[in-house]
Amino acid sequence: MDTRFKRVLVKLSGEALIAQDGFWLDHVTLQRLAQDLADCASEGFEIAVVIGAGNIIRGAKVAASGRIDRPTADSMGMLATVINSLALESAIEAVGAPARTMSAVAMPSLCETYARQPALHHLKKRRIVVLAGGTGNPFFTTDTAAVLRAAELGCEAVIKVTQVDGVYTADPKTDASAKRLERLTHDEAISRDLKVLDTAAFALARDSRMPIMVGSAHAPSSIGGILRGSALSTLVTP
């Protein structure tokens, strides 16, 4: 176990769940991520998770069409994160680890409503807490929700698990000269407009002095590897 961090918040990209045939949910990827989270919990890490909804809908993109206003489109995105969170909770429970979904948007017939003290209780009981509904407000991304919840719950780091194995100087999918950065500061990430997290999330992480580790969702045992230091990643520090 990496002794630097005990309680962490894992931010998963919703896009990582898209199947190769375009279906919104790849069950193999979901099961692999669930097993990875369960393995980390069994090693003693206390884990909260925020998962995006890019595999289903992006509120900002829907609003950009001009047919649906931004608050409504963002509300649709928040509901989509609940779908992903319930799927992840079920997958984690299926591999034998306890998990609880808590939503910032109250829907008590489906899951618990998020509140700080009950969430802390679940973490102390070694349950993986899946935090749905974003911040519960429009105009804020799930990246910002992840940093906000990490600060609220006393997490020692945010683990951003995405499509690439770290922060690059440019998009490695479109720029062959892009180089992966081993380490940088929040201020550098903001000033260089590096797009791994949105600016509001980076600013909140800077103000909270919250380290962020960025790595790939597609490597075997990706989350555990990032936490143990055995997988490629970038560390963003105050």
Instruction: Name all domains of the chain by residue range, CATH numbers in brackets.
Output: 7-237 (3.40.1160.10)
199, 190 in Cβ contact below 8 A?
yes
Query: Consecutive 10-residue runs of the chain (238 residues): their mean pLDDT?
Result: 77 92 93 95 96 94 92 96 98 98 97 98 97 97 97 97 85 86 91 84 93 84 87 90
Q: Which residues contact 148 (CB under 8 A, 6 or more apart)?
A: 135, 204
DSSP label at residue 114 = P
pLDDT of 199 reads 87
What is the value of pTM for the model shown? 0.93
List C-alpha distances in Å: 92 to 77, 87, 96, 122, 203: 23, 9, 7, 15, 31
Helix (H) or strand (E) holding 73: helix 70-94
> Counting beta carbons within 10 angstroms of the beta carbon of residue 182, is it exposed (0 to 12), middle (13 to 18) or buried (19 or more)?
exposed
| Measured distance CA(96)–CA(94) in Å, rounded | 5
